[in-house]
Amino acid sequence: MSYLTEAEHKVVSDAVAQSELDTSGEILTVLAERSDSYIDVALLWSAALSFTAMSVFAAFPKPFLGLWDSLVVEGLMGGWGHEWATGEIASVTIALGLITFALAWAVQLFQPLKFALIPGPVRTARVHDQAVRHFKVGAEARTLGRTGILIYLSMREHRAEIVADEPIAKLVEAEVWGEAMIEMLREIKAGRIAEGLAIGVRDVGFVLSQHFPRTDDDENELPDRLIEV
C-alpha cells in the first residue's frame, strides 16, 4: 500500500536535499505501513478468551447445559430429558474453547479492531525495534563521519522514531529529537503526510547543522529519496 504520490515523494526528497546543504549529516527517511504483524498478540488474545470461556463454563456448567438441553436436545429427543456424562461435558468444554478461539481470531482479521487491541507500549516497542533494524541496514556506519540519521514513520501504529549514529547520539539528547517531531506529527495527524515529513526533515537538519556543519569536501552518501515499505 502506497501512502504518497510521486509528487509527494519529491516533496520529502527535496526537503532532504535542502536540509543537507547546511550539514554533513545524512538524513534517511522511511515510511512504513506497519512495523509488525502482531500475530503473537492476536494469538494471546484468542487463547485468553478461549481459556476464559472454558473456565466460566467449568465453573457454572448448569446454566449452559440447561440452555442447550432446552434448545436442542429435547427437540431431538421428543421432549425427553438428558443426563450429561462426564465425557460429554469435557467434550463441550473443549469445543467451546476451540470455537471461542476461532471466533476471536476471525474478529481480529478486522485490522482497526486488531490494532485497537494492541497495547500502546507494545506498539511503541515494535516501532522502535523496526526503526533500529532499518537504521542498521540503511544508515548505521555507512557515512564517513558516522553522521547518518533515520526518520521512521509507521502509519498503522501512529508512531515515529528518530535513530542516529553514535556520534550524533552522544551530542544530541533524545528530548531534542522529540521536540523536532512535534510539528511533523501535527501535520501528519492532519493528513498531510508528505508535508509533515518534510517539516521533520527540516527540523532534524537544523539540529544537525548546529553540531555537524557542512564541510567543503562533503559528499552525499545516503539516498535523499523517501523509502516507502
**Burial of 149 by CB count in 10 Å (0-12 exposed, 13-18 middle, 19+ buried)?**
buried
125 and 44 within one domain: no
175 and 66 within one domain: no
Pick from 202, 134, 143, 213: nearest CA to 171: 213
152 and 202 within one domain: yes
Amino acid at 31: L
* pLDDT tens readout for residues 172-214: 888 888 888 898 999 999 999 999 999 999 999 999 998 888 8
Q: Are strands 159-164 and 148-154 parallel, antiparallel or unpaired?
A: antiparallel
Single out the residue in 115, 150, 169 at which a domain terminates.
115
* pLDDT, mean of each 10-residue run, the chain (229 residues): 88 93 90 94 95 88 71 51 71 88 94 92 94 84 78 94 89 86 91 94 92 80 85
Q: Is residue 1 part of a domain?
A: no
133 and 154 within one domain: yes
Phi, psi of 119 (to 5 degrees): -60, 145
110 and 17 within one domain: no
176 and 222 within one domain: yes
Q: Is residue 190 part of a domain?
A: yes
125 and 29 within one domain: yes
Asked whether 194 and 11 are in contact (CB, 8 A), the reply is yes
167 and 132 within one domain: yes
For residue 97, the enclosing domain spans 39-115
Q: Is residue 194 part of a domain?
A: yes
> What confidence score (pLDDT) does residue 108 get?
93
Asked whether 222 and 26 are in contact (CB, 8 A), the reply is yes
217 and 107 within one domain: no
111 and 125 within one domain: no
Single out the residue in 115, 133, 158 at which a domain terminates.
115
Total-model pTM: 0.81
25 and 48 within one domain: no
Q: What is the CATH number of the domain that holds 191?
A: 3.10.310.50
> What confidence score (pLDDT) does residue 169 get?
87
Residue 58 to residue 67: CA distance in whole angstroms:
15
